[in-house]
Each structure stands twice: as structure tokens, then as C-alpha cells.
A and B are shown apart, each in its own frame.
Chain A
Amino acid sequence: MSFLEYAPAPESRSILNLRDQYGLFIDGEFVDGDGTPFQTISPATEERIATIATAGTADVDKAVAAARGAYERTWSRMSGSDRGKYLFRIARLVQERARELAVAESLDNGKPIKESRDVDVPLVAAWFFYYAGWADKLDHAGLGPAPRALGVAAQVIPWNFPLLMLAWKIAPALAAGNTVVLKPAETTPLTALLFAEIVQQAGLPAGVVNILTGAGETGRDLVNHPDVNKVAFTGSTAVGREIARSVAGTDKKLTLELGGKAANIVFDDAPIDQAVEGIVNGIFFNQGHVCCAGSRLLVQESIHDEVVDRLKTRLSTLRMGDPLDKNTDIGAINSAEQLQRIRELSDIGEAEGAERWSPACEIPENGFWFPPTLFDNVSTSHRIAREEIFGPVLSILTFRTPAEAIAKANNTPYGLSAGIWSDKGSRILAVADKLRAGVVWANTFNRFDPASPFGGYKESGYGREGGRHGLGAYLKPGRELPAALRASGADSTASVTKARKGAAK
């Protein structure tokens, strides 16, 4: 027996205590949905996990009304320090139930348990912990003294990091004093529903957090609801465009976190073994289902052969298989639809003339699987260098000079993230300056922290999540009226105009 064929090391599912069917979480309780219920399955085996409710239009109404009621009656009147305490409780509960949440996430999403256990869930707890501390310090958020919440936030999240994306949305919104209605992705509702249970355990007042499961239509109903003050969306650029169109002309504040086609730039003086790890992590972490994935390798031409050689050797120790096995590195593709898209684009890559390579991989019979794949000799005009594949597929291009690397990296409508690998600090900082990307990683990749703002340039969206900047999406400046106008009872929006007119006289 080869040692490298490690014996199965399955994480037990016995820690889970799942219901057979879940309702919608509205106003502090689980209730039935109007729409047709659907199944959520494990993408690794295609087995059914549970029945999930679909929120119809009336359900969306109820949820927004619950959020509005909770905002008016409870949450907006509560002190920041009390809001913070609820968030601290939630953070602690996530830590206590961490193993359970990680298993549920891997089961429903297909990502390896190693990742949900070591990356996703710890970050979820950290996100709530970080924003808990902001709730009573909003004076320092950068919007002046006593900034105000926006009101009710409609939040729609994707399937790639289900619980983490939920944390990125809910934590800052609540810390800033808003109430939320959140719709998890259709293929990954499970951890959002477990989160609803945690919200109950924390004693969070009813209606502050509402979870609506459903598909695209539910999301549309929610985003378009007239009584929503804020829309936050993470997902595809195509849907982001739709949402941007639909909020045009309304008062709704919008933040979008969309797709990317990040360049991972490796210079000839890079610490080579760590660069190879960074390339692998950049595109194969989470099966490449990462908006900020390093899906384009820009390697300096002089070291191209060496890097590709080492990359192939490294790929041969990646293990693809059961997401609940602790030794799995590459899990299942999230859905049949996504698998189809990855296959199509990969076929296009071959047709365009790029050189395709994958390590030998055993593909399980059931489930949705795609082996890690390299495309070498890719050119900037190839579709696989332009379009987001959202799978474990790396396109390899070369460059000669730093300026050329920057030009190629920026030559895209996207602008979410980028990586720079070099031993030379001055070069790293200068290249970072010139990259049109919201997150730049130097000698590392895919690092996330609640204290570090994340978001894109251009068609990768707008707004930032994480850090002090992440509060800005959920606050507006408190407006102090000049004393004379306060006495006259004038409202805040009129005050500036009046004051100007007064001065002009």
C-alpha cells in the first residue's frame, strides 16, 4: 500500500441534528413558505439533505414588515453597547457550535471539511466578534459623530461561502443598527437556517434577523421591495447589473460584490516554493469557487518552465474526493449547472489552442466533480483569459517586464483582487500601487480578516466589506442642524438649502 493513499479519515456526521424540513425564519420563528418547497442535496453524492421552504411574494412582505417593526420598535432604540452584546453572544455561539456548522457547510456546499473547519467557520466567528465591538463606537466609524443606521437591509448571498457571506452581511448591518432580511443561495440554505437557530439561542429580539430561502425570484422580490433602505448583493456580475438597474432612481443604497478574474503575478525573484503554494491556493482553494480567485497566472517568461514544472508536481499530491474526509483538498463542484459551465469553458479553452493538463484523478461515480486543471500558453485574447470560470481551472500567461505584467493584469473589466510574488519590497509596493484591484496580496493569497476591507474596482462591484470601511455601507451621517433652524423645526434635508439662501442674502 502506498502511504500517500491515506486511509479514510471521515469527519462524523453524528454531530448534526438536522430537521427533515425547514421553514422560513421570520420575526423570530420558523414558518411555512408560500412557494413550492425544494430539496437541498449534497453535491458530492447527490443525496437529499432536507426539504427547504420557498418564500413567495407575501412571505417577502411579511419578512420586510417584521424587519421594519423590529427596527422601529426595538433595534433603533437599543443602545450600541446592547447591540454589541447580542453580536458577542452570536460570535460565542458560533464558536461553540463550530464543528457542527463546519460539517453542515461541507455537506451542503461540497467544500472540504478541512476548509470549512479551519477557514470558513473561524472567520464567521471572528467577523461577528469584530463587528460586535463596533456597535457602541460608531462615532469613530469615519462618518462623523452619531451616524445613523439606514433601516432595513435586503441581503442576497451566493453559494460559495454560505455562512461566511452571511456573516459578512449580517454582522456589520446589525452593528450599525440596521435590521436585515437575508436570502441564502438556492443550493446552500442549510447553514443559514442553523444560524437562525443560533439567533434564537442568543435571544436576539424577533425580526432583527430574518432568513428567506428560495431561488432567484425570491431574491428579486426582496431586492425590489419598496420598504427596503439598503441592498447588499454578492454574486455574479450579470445579476449585479440587474440589481443596479432596478434600484436606479430609488433611495436604496447599494453595495455589490461581484465576479473577478484576478491576476497572480509571479516575478523571477519570487520565493519560488511559496509562490507555487500561493498559485495552488489561489485557484484551487474552495474548488476555485472564489470571486477573488487567482485564475490567471502571470508568470515572468524567464521562469515559466520552472514554475509550471513545479506546479504540476505539486498538483499530483492534491486529493479530490469526499468533502467530509479530513484529507480531502478538492471537494465537489456545487451544482450540476456550475459543472456544466466549467466544462463548457474548458472545452473552449482547448479549442482556442491553450495546452490543457490535469493530474490523474479518481472521479467518484455520483456527485459533481472537476479535477484541478491547468491551461498553459494562454493569450490575453483567449476567452479563458477573460471570462470567469468559477472552477478549479488556471489560465497561464507570461510577461517580460513589470509594466507589462501590470498592463495585462489590469486589462479586464473586473478588478477584485491580485497577487504579487517577489522578494523585492520596492517592486511589490510599486506594483500594488498600479494594480486596479480592491485587494492586493503580496507573497500570499486568499487571506481574509474581519479587520481588512474587501471589495472590487470596476465590474467587480462597489463598496467594501470588513474593517472600519465596511461600516460605511450601513450608515449615513447624523446631521446636526444649525441651532436657529433646530428651533424653527426645519427638517434636515431642507436646512442646507435654506442656510445657503440665507447666506446669499
Chain B
Amino acid sequence: MSRLTVPKTYKLYIGGKFPRSESGRTYEVVSSTGAFLANAAKGSRKDARDAVVAARSALNGWAGATAYNRGQVLYRIAELLEGRRAQFVDEIVQAEGVSVATAGAQVDEAIDRWVWYAGWADKFAQVVGNANPVAGPYFNISVPEPTGVVAIVAPQADSLLGFVSAVAPALVAGNTVVVVASERFPLSAISLSEVLATSDVPGGVVNILTGSPAEIAPWLASHADVNALDLVGAGDLEWVDLQIAAADTLKRVLQPENGRDAAAPSLDRISFFTETKTVWHTKSLI
């Protein structure tokens, strides 16, 4: 007689906690063969609103941490992901119907991308920032600063790799994020939130909503307290409307990307979510 399992409940991840949707709704997540996997929370506009509040509250702390500290925290997440590799592989096999080897490759790539981004935290400012040789007795320096709260529609076609590829770069510079996971493959994102909750990432730095991107994204796109909008996974939505809505508050917007190379790792993904601040200071001996 085989052992009866204890199935996991998948909730949202907001402000470092795991609430159910305030709407009380859930939706069925099924495997590639249509078998029932779990009920995931169906996030509402109010959940999105709460997530933005959480992200904004966490911003000063995260942006104010030293770059070294952020790099350490992000690297620690990779360590924990590695430790839970088997769990993530299992979840992907069940959700996507791929082989263990393929799922394993996805998880390994996700972990390695996370390490790559962690290593940028204390050095990207040296690459994109610089002193400026202005013509006058002035010290002049340009440095990147985090843009603030970034809302992300994660790539929809896979469970983990697309999600990690979209979230990690925004965090490197000190932004906080609200991310809408893949509608079909949300479970890995919530398992990732368990990793975040047990790492040193302060609550509110990453907030994860599951449900319908079509329903949630417009509320994030028009939200006046969101500074940037990454539509990388919004290719199947009315994303032009989202970009138009975002224009009201002049959000910085990234357009959708499709295919295997969606959200490929790049320094550009980090610096897109930064603002450049240039400071002048007089210089004089007398």
C-alpha cells in the first residue's frame, strides 16, 4: 500500500507572506496531459494593489543596502535553489510533461543565470557609470540608481527559466518587483517564492501574483506608483494597450519577446531599470 501524499497549497507571495487572493478565487493548474495538479490563487486587482504597496515599502531598504550585500543575498538564493533542485525538476516534469533531463537542464540554466546576475550587483555601476571630464572646475560623476518598483509580466511559455530571467536583472540594481507568473505554469514561481522567503531577501522585494495576466496586467500598467513595466511575457495580451496605459505616467516600458531567447541574460536588462544620476561639485584650492 503506497503512502498517501500531503499535497501543497499554492498561494500568492506578497510582502514576505503567503496570502490567498483577497478575492478568494483559485483556478485549476493541470499537467501537460490534463491531469489536476493544484489550485493556484487567481490574483485580483486588489492583490496587485497590495503587492505594489509592499514593493514600495521595501524599496528604501533594498535600494539602500550595499551592492555587496545585494550580491550576497542574490547568490544565497542560487545556493538555496541548488539545494532544492530535485523539487524544481519534479515540478517541471509534472507541469510541462518534459523529461527529467530536459527539466534538469532548465533548472540548471535558471540557477546559473541567477548566479550570473548576482555577480553583477557590485560591479555593473563600474561599467555603466563614470566620471565625466567637463570643461570647468567641477567634479562630475554619473552613477546608475534603481528606478523603483518594476512590474513584470513573466514569460508564459515555461515554468522557471523565463521567470528567473525576467526577475533577477531588475533586482540587481536595487529595484523591487511585482511579477505576474505564467498562467499555465505558475507552480515553479510559487516554489521559488518559498526559496525567497527562506533566504535573506527582505519581504516585499519580490512579490509574485498568479492568475490571469490579461486581468492583472492592465492594473499594473496604469498604476501610478509603478515606475517601470516589463512586458517580456505579454506577447499574447493586448500589450500595445498596456504600453499606452503606461505612457500616462511615463513608465519605462520593455516590449514583449518571444521564443527561446526571451529575456536572454544581458547587462542591458539591468541598466534598463536604472536612472542615471549626474552630480556636479565645485573644486577650488582657495
Direct touch of chains A and B (CB < 8 A): yes
Assess whether A140 is interfacial by the CB under 8 Å rule. Answer: yes
* Cross-chain contact B126 with A451 (CB below 8 angstroms): yes
Give the residues from 68 to 99 in chain A that come closer than 8 angstroms, CB to CB, to chain B. Answer: 81, 84-85, 88
Determine the distance from Cα of A85 to Cα of B122 in the docked complex, in whole angstroms.
16
Interface string of B33-66 (1 = CB under 8 A from A): 0000000000000000000000000000000000
Determine the distance from Cα of A250 to Cα of B281 in the docked complex, in whole angstroms.
45
Interface string of B116-154 (1 = CB under 8 A from A): 101111110011000000000101000000000000000
Assess whether B4 is interfacial by the CB under 8 Å rule. Answer: no
Determine the distance from Cα of A451 to Cα of B122 in the docked complex, in whole angstroms.
7
- CB of B80, distance to nearest CB on chain A (Å): 13
* A130 and B281 in contact, given A88-B75, A88-B115 (Cβ under 8 angstroms): no
Chain A hits for B75, CB < 8 A: 88, 129
Q: Give A405's nearest chain B residue, CB to CB.
A: B285
Q: Give A430's nearest chain B residue, CB to CB.
A: B283
* Residue from the list A133, A402, A431, A467 in contact with B119, Cβ < 8 A: A133
* Cross-chain contact B68 with A130 (CB below 8 angstroms): yes
Determine the distance from Cα of A450 to Cα of B67 in the docked complex, in whole angstroms.
12
Assess whether B284 is interfacial by the CB under 8 Å rule. Answer: yes
Chain A hits for B122, CB < 8 A: 130, 133, 450-451
Determine the distance from Cα of A403 to Cα of B67 in the docked complex, in whole angstroms.
37
- CB of B286, distance to nearest CB on chain A (Å): 7
Q: Give B137's nearest chain A residue, CB to CB.
A: A430
Give the residues from 402 to 456 in chain A that come closer than 8 angstroms, CB to CB, to chain B. Answer: 402-403, 406, 425-427, 429-431, 433-434, 449-451
Chain A hits for B123, CB < 8 A: 130, 133-134, 137, 451, 468
* Residue from the list B72, B115, B137 in contact with A81, Cβ < 8 A: B115
* Residue from the list A88, A135, A137 in contact with B120, Cβ < 8 A: A137
Chain B hits for A136, CB < 8 A: 116, 119
Assess whether B22 is interfacial by the CB under 8 Å rule. Answer: no
Chain B hits for A430, CB < 8 A: 137, 283-285
Assess whether B238 is interfacial by the CB under 8 Å rule. Answer: no
Assess whether A163 is interfacial by the CB under 8 Å rule. Answer: no
Determine the distance from Cα of A133 to Cα of B127 in the docked complex, in whole angstroms.
13
Give the residues from 121 to 137 in chain A that come closer than 8 angstroms, CB to CB, to chain B. Answer: 126, 129-130, 132-137
Q: Give A80's nearest chain B residue, CB to CB.
A: B116
* Cross-chain contact B139 with A429 (CB below 8 angstroms): yes
* Cross-chain contact A429 with B283 (CB below 8 angstroms): yes
* Cross-chain contact A140 with B119 (CB below 8 angstroms): no
Q: Give B124's nearest chain A residue, CB to CB.
A: A140
* A429 and B281 in contact, given A134-B119, A402-B286 (Cβ under 8 angstroms): yes
Chain B hits for A426, CB < 8 A: 281-284
* Cross-chain contact A133 with B126 (CB below 8 angstroms): no
- CB of A220, distance to nearest CB on chain B (Å): 36
Which of A133, A429, A434, A450 lies at the interface centre, i.e. has the most chain B CB atoms within 10 A of its CB? A133
Determine the distance from Cα of A282 to Cα of B126 in the docked complex, in whole angstroms.
27
Chain B hits for A429, CB < 8 A: 139, 281-283
- CB of A271, distance to nearest CB on chain B (Å): 18
- CB of A78, distance to nearest CB on chain B (Å): 14
Give the residues from 99 to 114 in chain B that come closer than 8 angstroms, CB to CB, to chain A. Answer: 112
* Cross-chain contact B127 with A434 (CB below 8 angstroms): no
- CB of B82, distance to nearest CB on chain A (Å): 10
Determine the distance from Cα of A135 to Cα of B116 in the docked complex, in whole angstroms.
10
Interface string of A272-311 (1 = CB under 8 A from B): 0000000000000000000000000000000000000000
* Cross-chain contact B283 with A81 (CB below 8 angstroms): no
- CB of A446, distance to nearest CB on chain B (Å): 18
Chain B hits for A88, CB < 8 A: 75, 115
- CB of A403, distance to nearest CB on chain B (Å): 6
* Cross-chain contact A431 with B285 (CB below 8 angstroms): yes
Determine the distance from Cα of A430 to Cα of B139 in the docked complex, in whole angstroms.
9
Assess whether B267 is interfacial by the CB under 8 Å rule. Answer: yes
* Cross-chain contact A133 with B67 (CB below 8 angstroms): no
- CB of A300, distance to nearest CB on chain B (Å): 14
Q: Give A434's nearest chain B residue, CB to CB.
A: B285
- CB of B30, distance to nearest CB on chain A (Å): 35
Chain B hits for A427, CB < 8 A: 284-285
* A129 and B137 in contact, given A84-B119, A468-B123 (Cβ under 8 angstroms): no
Assess whether B15 is interfacial by the CB under 8 Å rule. Answer: no
Interface string of A449-469 (1 = CB under 8 A from B): 111000000000000000110
* A425 and B281 in contact, given A132-B119, A137-B123, A140-B127 (Cβ under 8 angstroms): yes
Assess whether B233 is interfacial by the CB under 8 Å rule. Answer: no
Determine the distance from Cα of A451 to Cα of B123 in the docked complex, in whole angstroms.
7
Assess whether B162 is interfacial by the CB under 8 Å rule. Answer: no
Chain B hits for A81, CB < 8 A: 112, 115-116
Chain A hits for B67, CB < 8 A: 451
Which of B122, B123, B137 lies at the interface centre, i.e. has the most chain A CB atoms within 10 A of its CB? B123
Assess whether B71 is interfacial by the CB under 8 Å rule. Answer: yes
Give the residues from 256 to 286 in chain B that come closer than 8 angstroms, CB to CB, to chain A. Answer: 267, 281-286
Q: List 10 A-B contacts (CB under 8 A).
A: A81-B115, A130-B122, A133-B121, A134-B123, A137-B116, A137-B120, A140-B267, A406-B285, A427-B285, A430-B137
What are the 8 A-B residue pairs with the smallest beta carbon separation, nearest first? A133-B119, A430-B283, A429-B283, A426-B282, A468-B126, A429-B139, A402-B285, A426-B284
Interface residues of A (CB under 8 A from B): 81, 84-85, 88, 126, 129-130, 132-137, 140, 402-403, 406, 425-427, 429-431, 433-434, 449-451, 467-468
Interface residues of B (CB under 8 A from A): 67-68, 71-72, 75, 112, 115-116, 118-123, 126-127, 137, 139, 267, 281-286
